[in-house]
Structure 1
């Protein structure tokens, strides 16, 4: 049976909010000449929503409700940011500064979100719930955007993705440290089977003792 087990939606929810804010930041009414920022983050938003739809489908009902509420909250928040930006600020510099600061805050949250998974990796000495491909992608994404920010002299992109580079590097270090101690699926199934057999054997012995008594 397919299920999400102990995987968490936190990184995906954080990335959805982050991508939505950066799409708004890149719009001509906020920060002109940022087409690359828009296209990349629209693509990222679509991918993360697909991930969340899969996660949502295979999650138990309480977790579905939680994910749904978070998504609604994020949409409302982005709407509030957009409204405040357009009504309170009237120049590109003011708008890009206001939205840029918010983007830096939330891209930091996006890169901090995997801390819940990293803590689990350290606690269990297993990288089962921290896919290598995702960790590598986070690191490379941060590095590429840092280079872009240096070329474009965009401080907001530089700060946020500098943190992303550090976060991705830490994840890769943890992966290298705990990869060998991660039990394989076959080993886990074997251990579970042994535990069930021992439990059944203990139950049979207890029944035998009661019968003889």
Structure 2
């Protein structure tokens, strides 16, 4: 409980700092500041499965990389990339374009390593 409270406090302080900095900026600079901050956060969310990708390659197993999450990452990032491109908003289509690439890489790795290790739904259940 103490650890969660500490993390909540840290996130609150970071959020307050972002709000204070953005309120001090002029409207055009504020838009750029918040846009870059959001783009950075979106890329970090899409890049976080890279740690799992490293584990998948080392263990040659997709046990720790769920297919549904990889597929959802690809589909959501692709749809937002398309939306951003249609709107002409680089703060939307660039980070989501990177997310589309990373989601596609996850799907390719899942396909390759699930065939290699036999990690699919057709395996026989383990007997106790």
TM-score (structure 2 length as normaliser): 0.84
Once the two structures are TM-superposed, the CA of residue 126 in structure 1 deviates from its matched residue by: 1.1
Work out the CA distance in 2 between the residues paired with 1:134 and 1:68.
28
Structure 2 partner of 1:156: 91
- List 4+ stretches of structure 1 deviating above 6 A: none
Q: Match for 2:60 among 125, 128, 148?
A: 125
Cα 1:71–1:171 change in 2 (3 A) is farther
Q: Which moved more, 1:176-185 or 1:74-83?
A: 176-185
- Unaligned 5+ segments in structure 1 are 1-60, 194-213
Once the two structures are TM-superposed, the CA of residue 75 in structure 1 deviates from its matched residue by: 2.9
Q: Match for 1:85 among 12, 16, 22?
A: 22
Work out the CA distance in 1 between the residues paired with 2:8 and 2:108.
31
Structure 2 partner of 1:166: 101
Cα 1:81–1:127 change in 2 (3 A) is same
Once the two structures are TM-superposed, the CA of residue 94 in structure 1 deviates from its matched residue by: 2.0
Once the two structures are TM-superposed, the CA of residue 73 in structure 1 deviates from its matched residue by: 2.4
Work out the CA distance in 2 between the residues paired with 1:177 and 1:68.
41
Does residue 1:100 correspond to 2:40, yes or no? no
- Give deviations 1:53-111, integer Å, cap 9, x for gaps: xxxxxxxx8xx93x66444423321221111101x2131x2211111111112211111
Cα 1:70–1:176 change in 2 (3 A) is farther
Structure 2 partner of 1:43: none
Once the two structures are TM-superposed, the CA of residue 149 in structure 1 deviates from its matched residue by: 0.6
Cα 1:115–1:69 change in 2 (3 A) is farther
Work out the CA distance in 2 between the residues paired with 1:141 and 1:90.
32
Cα 1:79–1:172 change in 2 (3 A) is same
Work out the CA distance in 1 between the residues paired with 2:124 and 2:34.
45
Structure 2 partner of 1:186: 125
Work out the CA distance in 2 between the residues paired with 1:75 and 1:186.
46
Count of matched residue pairs: 124
Relative contact order, CA 8 A, sep 6+: which one is greater?
A: 2
TM-score (structure 1 length as normaliser): 0.52
